Structures are given as structure tokens and as C-alpha cells.
Structure 1
Amino acid sequence: MKFSTYFSTLPFTILFALGILPSSVSAQKAFTRQEINDSIQELPYFSNHLDNYFMSGVPTNRTINHNSANAKYQISFKQILSKESLPYDTYLMLTYTQKAFWNVFENSLPFRDLNFHPTISLGKFVFKKNDELAGIATLSFEHESNGRDSIFSRSWNRLSLGYTTNVFKNTTASFKAWLPFAYKEGNPDLLDYVGIAEIKVSHELIHDKLSFAVMARKGLKFKYGNLRSRVYFNPFKRNIANQYIMLEWYLGQAESLLDYQKSQSMIRVGYVIKSNEFNWFRGKN
């Protein structure tokens, strides 16, 4: 299936997913300003950021062999620099994410590409008039590169603004837009493939057991972009350390920086320590 065709069905996919939900926000009571301020003091300074995972899979748009099948893993963590709020009740943090594409089925098991993504961010909790949590806003400086030189060098920088909120019961949406700069050397047409914004929607079907998430980007050229769908399943009797089995389907371009112009349709499955960064929106039991 071509990306442009699949992307055009995305709004209907999301509407269908949300349509199975009640029209009201979660019955669980939202956290208040004071409760969040108290909880921040109990948080560890160092914690996970995005999903940490290792998975392997095969393409669906070309022949499966030792060159096209691969493994992908990601390491992501966050360091809170100060638990005392800064001006405008913001908090400063550093994050680092490293994503690797590993050709484990080839001789000598070479790494195809490594992508490094450090950021420094200001985060702010947004509250309703009744002092209950409404959303989380972030302002970030981001750098992303593959650490290579010559014709294989890929790098870009951006200032980004993000906002995450509850949209329905058990459903969270994140919206993010960026202003890129210093990216034209090595990948002058990168924005044609990654665009200037993204949206993520996640929904928990069974508490601590089964959930799914969708991320979409649209390139500045209409025929380019990407769509990533994930299903998380916890096979354990208890939710041990937020561990899940994850099934992922990635469709489109720019999965890795080195091959950002290459169209991909990859299905992978593996082990993930799921991010709990936005568990604030799950409310209180």
C-alpha cells in the first residue's frame, strides 16, 4: 500500500478508535496542582523518557532476505535538572535518545545506522480553573544526527513546541511542531520527508495490559511522510517494571536519518520498557 493512500485513511482510523470510547473524559479524578507539585518532589531525577525497546522484523514492501530484515533498538532517558520550579512554573530537563538499526542477519552483524537525539527542554503543567491538570507543554531545543561524516552525514536542529492532553477516556494525544535550522548541509530536502509537525494518539484498552499508539508526520511534499502504529501487550500477571511485548508497523520515509528518502514498510515485534512519562493523565484510582 502506498503511503499517500494509507495516510489518507488515518483520520478515519483515529475517529474509529475514538468512536468506541465514551464521549466523556475518564471517570478517574484528575491530579490537582498541589498533588502534582508534591509528586514532583518524589520523582527520581534520572528516569526513562521515550520507550526503551529491542525488536526485530521484516519488510512488507520488498523481498525478505538477510539484507532487508533487521533489528531496531532504542535507549532513552531523562534527567531533571531542578525540582524547584523556574519562572512561570517551568521545569528544566535534559533528555537523550539513541536509536540503532542493526543488520543482525548479515555476516559480521553490522550496524546500518545510529541516530543520536539529545534535547534540553522546559516543561510546564497546565491547569484548569479548578486547579485540575489540563495538559503538559514543552519548549525544547533538539539536535538529531547520525554521527557520520562525508556523504553519509545527516544532521538537523530544531526548536519545538509540544502539548499533551487527555482527549477522551483513557486516550491521550500529543501535538508537536518545530522550527528547523542548520539542516541543509547533508540533507537539504529533509523537511520534504519529516515535515514540521507530528501528532501522537495513544489509548489504553485494558489497564496495564493492552494499549495501542499511532504517530503520524506529513512531509512538506504531500506524497512523503510516515505513520507508525504500535500495539503493547503485557503477558505477565502483574505489570512488572512497565514491561510489554510490542508489535510495530512503520510505513513511510525517514525511519532512520541515513536512509530518510527511502520508503519503508516494516513490521517488527520485540520487548519494550514502555514510557510512563504521561501517566499523569491516567488520573487517580
Structure 2
Amino acid sequence: MFSPPIVSIYRLFLLFALALFPVSLSLAQDHGDQDWVFKNSKSLSELWELDEAHHRGTFLITSYKPVYFTLAKYSSDTNKDPKSEGLENTLPEPVALNVIESKFQLSLKTKIFHKVLWGRADVWAAYSQRAYWQIYNEALSRPFRETNYEPEIILNFPVKFSLLGFEGKMIGAAFTHESNGRSEPISRSWNRLGLHAGFERGQWQIMFKNWVRLGGSNDDNPGISDYIGRAEAKVSYDLKRQRFYAIARHSMKFGEKSRGSLQLNWTFPIIKNFSGHIQVFEGYGESLIDYNHRQTTVGLGVSLIN
């Protein structure tokens, strides 16, 4: 059950969303075909250069995950005293964090090998970074609360098959390292090896991922897979110049270890490439430092690349 302040936040969010929806839909109808920047988001074939018609060469930097800046993000339970599961690595005392902060995400990729493994696959290098900024916390000199760094090596195979009305476009594997670059007691990091598959149908795109964590001698966050999860599904839908997408993660376990998260996003047009962005998150692992901390967040900002 949500407490009264959270209910109020959700009511404000819903009212704001309902007020903006007809405006953004009108903009999409009025300007949708007048300029290339107003066209629908790219297909998986374009984004991942899955055929020769879309191949643009190696070492060309393109976008990977969405790039956005959240001006204000409210948390129902700010993690003022982060702790690792089963360890005594705690801060001397809780930090006086604000419940409202800003957040931004940057993400790029580049193809480094084309037509490897008997001419069937491409190899990509990717890098994503998320930062959580206590910009409104004047008492603490507006510090960055948490920054997560996520380099990846991705192997992609173009495919073509049908499943439940969707067309399978790509399958592959990826090695991912994620860390916050901090020292004890708030160091967090993990490595994982995963498989993925991408599907399309009209304006719908679906990406499924699952992974196994690769062990290490120094474990700053034991049990992280039981909180952040072992599998992910991302579903997106484009309506004119608007995009709706959801990211769900789950531990793939039952009982008390049935945990995960759900992130809902809506981007809507403002002008040219400049879009508004509303994000709602509920669950564990909103950032690495929060891997075993559950909260609900609501954020409002701008999106530059979807």
C-alpha cells in the first residue's frame, strides 16, 4: 500500500500526463511528416545494422540506450544508509539526502567488427552511464550521490523468424561490467554474461534478456541477482512522435526472493529533437547503491535520444 504522500505524487503525475497527452498528440499530427526529425524511431535493422542495406561501417559512434536528463526525481524512500546484503560495510552514519534529485543517462555504441564468425555476426562495444545528482541539496554542496558505469561487448546475429505475430530480428550475447567506481564501504560492482533476442511488429519492439552473474573474489553486493534480477523484458511502442516503453526485471525466483523492478517511460514532443520525458520506477536496483533497497520514484525531464 502506498502512503498518502505517494498517492498524492501519483495523482499529480496522472493529471500532468493527461494534460500533456492531447497537446503532444496534436504536435505529432501537425508536424509528423514535415521533417526527418519527426519520423518514427528506427527499426531494429537500422539501429543494429542487421543487413547490408543498413551497414554504415565500423567505429561509427551511434546511440544505444535512451539519452535523457531528469530535472526532478522524487523518491518514496531515499537510501540514506546503504548496506550490502550480509556484510558490515556501512557508513558511519546516515547521509542527509534529499528526496528530490536529478538524474541523467548517457549511452553510446560502435560496431568494432563486421561479419565475423563465418560472416554471420557483428561485434559491438557499448558504454552507458547513469548519474544521480543531489542538485537541490545545498546543505551537502549539491554532490553526485551515485554514478554507475556500464561498458559492454555485444555479439549480434541477424535472424528472421516469426513468433506469436512478431518477427524475430536478432539474437546474441553480451558481456557486461557495471560498477559505481567507489571505495568501501559503498563500492558496488558486478559482471554478467547474457543472451538476448529482439522482436518487431509494426510500431512495437520487444527485447528479451537473461544473464548469469560471473563470480569474483571480492563481492561488494552479494545476492544482487536476487534483487536486481536475472532477466529483463523491454517493450516499446511508438505513437507518432511519442514513445511509450517499459522495462521489467525479475529475479526468476519464487517466494521471498521473488523480486525485481518495473520502469515506465513516456517521451512526448516539445520541439524538433527536444522531447519531454516522464519516468516512474518501482522496485529494487534503481541504481547500484540501491541494489537491495526498494523504492518508488517519479521523475520529470527531457529526452534527447530515444
TM-score normalised by length of structure 2 = 0.70
Task: Give the aligned partner of residue 205 of structure 2.
Answer: 172
Identical counterparts, % of pairs: 28
Cα deviation, residue 170, structure 1: 1.3
How many residues align? The count is 238
Task: Give the aligned partner of residue 63 of structure 2.
Answer: 48
Counterpart Cα distance in 1 of 2:115 and 2:265: 35
**Moved beyond 6 Å, runs of 4+:** 29-32
Cα deviation, residue 82, structure 1: 2.7
Task: Give the aligned partner of residue 98 of structure 1.
Answer: 129
Contact 1:113 1:258 in 2 (8 A): yes
Query: Which letter maps to 1:266?
Result: T
Contact 1:66 1:105 in 2 (8 A): no
Task: Give the aligned partner of residue 145 of structure 1.
Answer: 179
Q: CA RMSD in A?
A: 2.9
Cα deviation, residue 59, structure 1: 2.9
Task: Give the aligned partner of residue 7 of structure 1.
Answer: none
Query: Which letter maps to 2:269?
Result: N
2:151 equivalent to 1:118: yes
Cα deviation, residue 187, structure 1: 0.6
Query: Which letter maps to 1:127?
Result: K
How far does the alpha carbon of each residue in 1:6-63 deviate from its partner, in whole angstroms, 9 at most, with x for none?
xxxxxxxxxxxxxxxxxxxxxxx9979x992122136871111111111033436359
Contact 1:227 1:250 in 2 (8 A): yes
Question: Quick one: which of 263, 266, 269 aligns to 1:234?
Answer: 269
Per the alignment, do residues 47 and 161 of structure 1 end up closer, same or farther by CA in structure 2, a change over 3 Å counting?
Answer: same
Task: Give the aligned partner of residue 196 of structure 2.
Answer: 162
Task: Give the aligned partner of residue 61 of structure 1.
Answer: 76
Q: How does 1:1-285 map to 2 (within 5 A)?
A: 1=1, 36-41=51-56, 45-59=60-74, 61=76, 67-107=98-138, 108-128=141-161, 134-166=168-200, 168-182=201-215, 185-205=219-239, 207=240, 209-219=241-251, 220=253, 221-236=256-271, 240-241=272-273, 243-275=274-306
Contact 2:57 2:111 in 1 (8 A): no
Per the alignment, do residues 139 and 101 of structure 1 end up closer, same or farther by CA in structure 2, a change over 3 Å counting?
Answer: same
Counterpart Cα distance in 1 of 2:296 and 2:70: 15
Counterpart Cα distance in 2 of 1:165 and 1:235: 29
How far does the alpha carbon of each residue in 1:246-270 deviate from its partner, in whole angstroms, 9 at most, with x for none?
1000111101111212212111111
Counterpart Cα distance in 2 of 1:46 and 1:232: 23
Per the alignment, do residues 109 and 30 of structure 1 end up closer, same or farther by CA in structure 2, a change over 3 Å counting?
Answer: closer
Q: Tell me, what secondary structure is at the counterpart of 1:195?
A: coil
Q: Which moved more, 1:243-252 or 1:218-227?
A: 218-227
